[in-house]
Chains A and B, each alone.
Chain A
């Protein structure tokens, strides 16, 4: 067990929220086509309120603090907030588009001891990136920002949300990140709007494209291991926590609303009305989230993927049931391994054009993309929460 795993295990045992994600604003200088936020300011917390919140988070034991938005650097008091967070000895990561970062800002962030800057990049081509952000010139400004951050000695992680519109550019973004001295990660997850609008999900990569993605060594490491059939499910998997949301991590909006995770918009309290620790310990919503083990999930507990699925309880909640399947993750599991999920089978979405399910599954140890070709699935309907 690594030291990080040991710390997480200990935090869980002690009921400590080791990780908090705080959005400082929903305002943004970009208008990304896939963004789940309403960018109007509905009454952001003041510096005094955020300062008090940070103190409460420190007292609660939060160690890893992500400051994000919207574009957090749009706040005039952004550096005061970072300074306050660092004075409280948080490990601070900032998520930004870096459009507002130049040498002075980068050096200030470095001097404050920010551990990492995560910068969103959608393409190495301006016509693609700027079409996603709807801000002309944004790629150029973002790259200049990354260069300034790197020159100041900050670690930069380029985060690439992959969608239909930019899927072909992932290798170009990865190469650009290398050239800039940044790490690179890619994620095909597009989440519904916070208000429940699911129209943005049309931007998701079609499931059928995922198979090719999961063969990309740069993204998954060893494709053969990544796409291997899941091992048999045992009691360890059935007693596992669905994810860290609400257990050792939480999300707080610019308006003080507390949620289990930024992808799990289940209102669980508001720090303007209650102390953070009261919400963390006593919120009925968080207690319900914490009561669930993977073995309790009515459909997923019978799924072959139970132990290896990336099932997001937040996405499941937005589909109508936090104990239900997360259809996007069902698709990922299927296109990764070629093995249909219990949810797909239960919905009758799976057909086997060349024979029975047994014949398809007997194709092991054929490569995953070969197994996928033995099964046809209909698109998974995703109910509106």
Chain B
């Protein structure tokens, strides 16, 4: 099975607001709000855990949805966010940004989209 790995882009701002997550891309100033399920995916996007595992462990256990449907919806969701530069998506694990937080490593990871 081909895994999908997701990581949060360093070029975004994000903050919980009530039961939602507000996200803005610094690249094009696009503003999003994520529902609680989508926010779970966002929070779990560490670049190391495959998407199917995130869905199985974090979504299916918390919400009454079958794994196949949840994974299909999750793949659609992460691809939409990737188009806006909100998430990085790759078929290999994505390295974390450098400890200096200067964005360099994240930019390199961004080339994987």
Instruction: Please report A residues at the B interface, Cβ cutoff 8 Å.
Output: 3-4, 6-7, 10-11, 14, 16, 18, 58, 61-63, 83-84, 86-87, 89-92, 108, 110-116, 155
Partner of B101, one of A16, A83, A91: A83
Q: Report if A115-B16 is in contact (Cβ < 8 Å); known contacts: A83-B100, A83-B102.
A: no
Size class of the contact patch on chain B: 20 to 34
Q: Is the CB of A155 within 8 A of B15?
A: no
In the complex, whether B95 has a CB less than 8 A from a CB of chain A is no
Number of A-B contacts (CB under 8 A): 67
Please report B residues at the A interface, Cβ cutoff 8 Å. Answer: 10-18, 20, 22, 24, 26, 29, 31-33, 100-104, 107
- Is there contact, CB below 8 Å, between B17 and A112? no
Q: Which residues of A contact B13 (CB under 8 A)?
A: 63, 89-92, 113, 115
> In the bound complex, do residue A87 and residue B17 qualify as a contact, i.e. CB atoms below 8 Å apart?
no
The residue from B10, B15, B16, B17 contacting A113, defined by CB atoms under 8 A apart: B10
Besides A7-B33, A111-B103, 10 other CB < 8 A contacts?
A3-B31, A7-B22, A11-B17, A16-B17, A18-B17, A61-B17, A63-B17, A83-B101, A92-B13, A115-B26
8 A-B contact pairs sorted by A residue (CB < 8 Å): A3-B31, A14-B17, A14-B18, A61-B15, A83-B101, A84-B101, A90-B15, A91-B24
Q: How far is the CB of B97 from chain A (nearest CB, A)?
A: 9
Question: Shortest beta-carbon distance, A288 to chain B, in Å?
Answer: 26
A116 CA / B32 CA spacing, docked (Å)? 18
Residues of A within 8 A of B33 (CB): 3, 6-7
Are A111 and B29 in contact, with the CB atoms below 8 A? no
Taken together as a complex, chains A and B put the C-alpha atoms of A21 and B20 apart, in Å, by 24
Instruction: Determine if A113 and B103 form an interchain contact, defined as CB atoms under 8 angstroms apart.
Output: yes
Give the Cβ gap from B102 to chain A, nearest Cβ, in Å.
5
Please report the C-alpha to C-alpha distance between residue A188 and residue B48 in the assembled complex, in whole angstroms: 52
Cα–Cα distance between A10 and B18 once the two chains are bound (Å):
8
Contact of B26 among A3, A4, A108, A113 (CB under 8 A): A113
Q: Is there an interface contact between B29 and A108, defined as CB atoms closer than 8 Å?
A: no
Q: Are A115's CB and B24's CB within 8 A?
A: yes
Of the residues B17, B18, B104, contact of A111 by C-beta under 8 Å: B104
User: With A11-B17, A83-B102, A86-B101 known to touch, is A111 a contact of B22 (CB < 8 Å)?
Assistant: no
